[in-house]
Every structure is written in C-alpha cells, then in structure tokens.
Amino acid sequence: MQRRDFHRWAQAHALAIALAPWQQAVGQASSDARRWRDNPFTLGVASGQPRAESVVLWTRLLVSAQDRADPGLDPARVLCEVFADEALRQRVWHSEITTDAQRGHSVHAVAQGLTPARMYWYRFRCGEATSPTGRTRTAPRAQADVGRLRLALASCQHYEQGEYVAHADIAQQELDLVVFVGDYIYESSNPRLALRKHTGGEPKTLDEYRLRYALYKSDPNLQAAHAAHPWLLMWDDHEVVNDYANDRDPRNSPLASFMQRRAAAYQAYFEHQPLALGPDPGSPWGASMRLHDKLSWGRLADIWTLDCRQYRSPQACPDPNRGGGRVVTQCAELDDASRTLLGNAQEAWLYDGLRQSTATWKVLAQATQISPTSVNTPLGRATYTDAWDGYPHARRRLLQTLADGNVADVLTLGGDVHMNVAAQLRLQPNDDNSPVLASEFVATSITSRGLSESVLNAARTANPDIVYARADERGYALIDIQPHAATCEFRTTPFPAGTRADLSVQARFQVERGRAGPVKL
C-alpha cells in the first residue's frame, strides 16, 4: 500500500488519533535525536533571492549509504534558524522543514518577517548534526534611498579546468549580492584541460545530475562564497547540456527523451540552489521552471535576471547533422523577426518592467554577451549563432525599448563567453551615428578556458563597440553601483587557476549616470 493510500485508509477508519504517538516517535527519530554516522551537511549552506523582509535559505542533506540504511530517515525534519547576531544568541526566526529522498533531501526555507537592509546569520540542524553557519542580508525597502550596491558577477565554473580561487576572493569581499549568470556545473569533460576530475560520465538522469552538483558543491571555496553572501542565480546551457535551445538539444534527440533529461536537470538545479520555487509540476513533461526574476535595491537599482535558454528559438541555420550554435556566414534565418532569445512572454514582462522602472539604474543580468562579436570574412559577416549575435532582431527589440521609452542608465551584465568585456550597446551596432543606449560588462569565467588571442583580436577589430576584451585570465567582476556612477573591476588570475593563486585587478571601468558607455579608469 502506498503511504498516501494508507493515510486515507487510516483517516477513514478514524485511526489517526490512535496512530499519533507512533508518528511522533518516527518524527523524533528523524529530527530531534537522530544520530548520524556521517555528517550530512557536507554540501554547505546558501542563501538567495533576498527581499526587504525575506530571504531563501538552502541546504541539502547528503546522506551516506550507512545512514540511509537506518530506519526512520524519511521524512527527515530539519530545523532552520535565523539569528540577528554572529554569535547566534538572538534567534529571530525558525522553522522546521520536512524533506525526503524524493527531493534529494534538499531543504528550502523562506525566512520571513525580517528587517530590511540587515545582515543575518543562519544554520540548519537535523538530529545531532548542525550545519556550518551562513551569513546573508536582506534587500532595502523599495523606496529607500540607498547609496551603494556592491555585487560580484560570476559564471562558468568548469570543475576540471581550475580551482575556485575566485570564489575564495568573492567570500572575502564586502558584498550585497553574488550574481551568478550560468554554467554552474558542466555536463561535459575535456580530459586535456583537467586539473581535477569529474566523477561519473555525462549526467542525463536525476541521480547523475545530483552527483555532479554534489561534486561541485563539495568545493570549500564555492561553499565559502555561498555562506558569505546571498546569491541571485541564472542558468545557461551547461546546467542541462551544451547549446540546448528550449526543447531541443544539439544531438536532435527525440522530444520526449530530451524533455525528460531537461526535467531531471532542472530538478537537480532546484535541489542545489537557494530558490523559493522549483519545477512546475503542472507543466508538460514536468520540465518547466520559472527562474527569471526581478529584485529592487531601494531606489538605486532594479535588477532583472533573464533566462536566455528555456524559451529561445532554436539557433539559426544549424549544421544539418547536429543542432546547437556554430559560426555561419550566409544565413537568411537571422533576418526572421519572429525569432526570440527570451521568449515572447519574458520579453513583454521585461519591457513593461523597464518602461515602468523608476530606479536610478536598471541592471539586466543574463547569460551571455549582448554586444556583437561577428567578424568580416570574404564570404560575408561570420556570426556565432548561440549568443545574442544569433538573435539580432531580439537584441534590436530590447534596445528599441530603451530608445522609445527613454530608459536611461541601463547596465547589462553577462557571462558565458569566458572573457572580460566592456562594451557600448547601440541600436545599430558599431555605428557611430547610432547613440549608445546602454553599457555592458561581461565577466570572465571562474575557471573555464577562454578564446585564443587571435580569434579575440579579430572580434575586437571588427567591433569598435567593444571597448575592452580579454580572454586569457580567469576570475570575476566586482560591480559597484552608486547613484552618480557604476564601476566594474575585473579581478583575475592567469589560466589555469591553481590552488595558491591570488586575484589582482586586471582593469577598471566606470559608467557615469546619464552617460551610457564604459570609460576606462
């Protein structure tokens, strides 16, 4: 008999009261007095999606085989506690969360009723085990006059291709937020570049994705960056499979099998991140999950996190033998105005939000590079189809919205391309007569290898809108937003990032309020 059927049967026979002491005993065994043979909190803790009065807190019990064999584990009851002080004396919020194997023993708690713009400390307890302590902070009130927003912009952390020294640096900074814009895990391997090894092969099932996340989450530097600051998260392609677009993977797998894989990947993503909502159980295939979001940082900034994968049109002019992105020269499909990178609903939501925003700065955090990198060849302009260059009408609609609505002081933040970029965004790319409408910063990868200098040089030369681009170093960008100006500091270390590496400042740029376009400092 299924558990649910048993409960119905018990209720129908009025046995619920008689069973109550037994249920309590089970609960106590799983929560209050459980003795663990192995520490279940080895994946660390995290916080995210901060609001003025709430924040999402996360952990996942990694249950060893020995502990799994013990009866009474499921459902496990986990106590989540929030404190106003670092010494953990003033507890201001707590809740008991129930979790089980179905959700990978992940724990998501939304701490409510908190004070705006304040630091908090949190931890989890299950039986006799206690998690490491995390620190987080709430957002300011919507109408608050805020003098500063400091965030780290990061992406692309192939585990095999380097150490997470950038995360150790992020953990040490005084920050309001970490904004991670995708490629949190990689499904693929390149043995030639491996400083350390993935366990297992390419993940396709829920259990395989769980193992991959557990490996990444086991890294102490990554854990430190999560425990130090709240994160805003957006995914790109490698959280599922390289270059996937909406319901298609580059191998042109049958729809049902790819959507099963996407559902597994999204479920695992949710289970390992501080997110309030997971996959939508009512969606076809169970493979849909709303991740795009908007956060206000007082009157200083509105921040949108944009999903560039789940709703996009397939890449234009694919190789007939495999889908995904590639470099094309003659491709009429690029001129199809109906093609979209964000999907129509997300576009409409974003444009409405941009037009209505009264914040000083409008920050768009999204996966990839918006400014053009295409180059001239004897066969015509060569365009890489997976990034915004492959969706020129979608890029134009975004910039037209800024122009038509006089939406000023827009900063776009991106990742994916494994290089530091500062760029100007115009309606007509690279055309001096077309006004600069927004400023772009793309942060290099935490570890993943970058483009060669020769390829990058061709892109720089063909695109004067690119003010700065360097692909040879790994790291992240520190973005400091103040009412009069926003600065970007690229903090990097040479590739590959080793255990003892230190980060240093590669370059700094500023955008003045009322004057779009990054200027080197």
Under the rule (CB under 5 A), what is the footprint of Fe ion? 156, 183, 448
Cβ nearer to Fe ion, comparing 47 with 448: 448
Give CA separation, 164 vs 196, 220, 464, 491, in Å.
12, 9, 33, 13
In the complex, least distance from residue 435 CB atom to Fe ion, rounded to whole angstroms: 32
**CB-wise, 183 or 302, nearer to Fe ion?**
183
Q: Which is nearer to Fe ion, 407 or 419 (CB)?
A: 419
Min dist. Cβ of residue 5 to Fe ion (A): 46
Name the minimum Å distance from CB 448 to Fe ion. Answer: 5
Q: For the CB of residue 462, give the shortest distance to Fe ion in the complex, in Å.
A: 23
Min dist CB 157 to Fe ion, Å, is 8
Radius of gyration in angstroms for the set of CA atoms belonging to the chain, rounded to a whole number: 24
Distance from the first to the final alpha carbon of the chain: 69
Shortest spacing between CB 156 and Fe ion, in angstroms = 3
Q: Which is nearer to Fe ion, 183 or 386 (CB)?
A: 183
* Whole-number Å distance between alpha carbons of 25 and 304: 46
| C-beta of 99 vs 448, nearer to Fe ion | 448
% helix, strand, coil for the chain, step of 5: 25, 30, 45
Query: What's the half-sphere exposure (Cβ side, CA atoms, 13 Å) at 46?
Result: 31
Q: Looking at beta carbons only, is 414 or 429 nearer to Fe ion?
A: 414
Between helix 165-172 and helix 220-228 the angle, nearest 10°, is 20
Angstrom distance (rounded) from CA 122 to CA 41: 14
DSSP letter (8 states) at residue 114: P
Q: Where are the alpha helices (DSSP H) in 130-229?
A: 165-172, 206-217, 220-228
Neighbour-count burial of 14, counting CB atoms closer than 10 A to its CB (0-12 exposed, 13-18 middle, 19+ buried) = exposed
Nearer of residues 183 and 307 to Fe ion, judged by Cβ: 183
Taking the complex as a whole, how short is the minimal distance between the CB of residue 241 and Fe ion, in angstroms?
A: 13
Interatomic CA distance for residues 102 and 97, integer angstroms: 14
Nearer to Fe ion, 203 or 298 (CB): 203
> For residues 366 and 448, which CB has a smaller minimum distance to Fe ion in the complex?
448
From residue 355, alpha-carbon distances to 80, 115, 343, 515 in Å are 39, 29, 18, 18
What the block records as the tokens of 267 is 């479920």
Tell me how far apart the alpha carbons of residues 267 and 262 are, in angstroms, rounded to a whole number: 8
Cα separation, 467 vs 136, whole angstroms: 35
According to DSSP H, which parts of 252-319 are helical? 255-271
Please, what is the minimum distance in Å from the beta carbon of residue 155 to Fe ion? 7
Q: Which is nearer to Fe ion, 109 or 387 (CB)?
A: 387
DSSP code for 401: H
Residue nearest to Fe ion (CB): 156
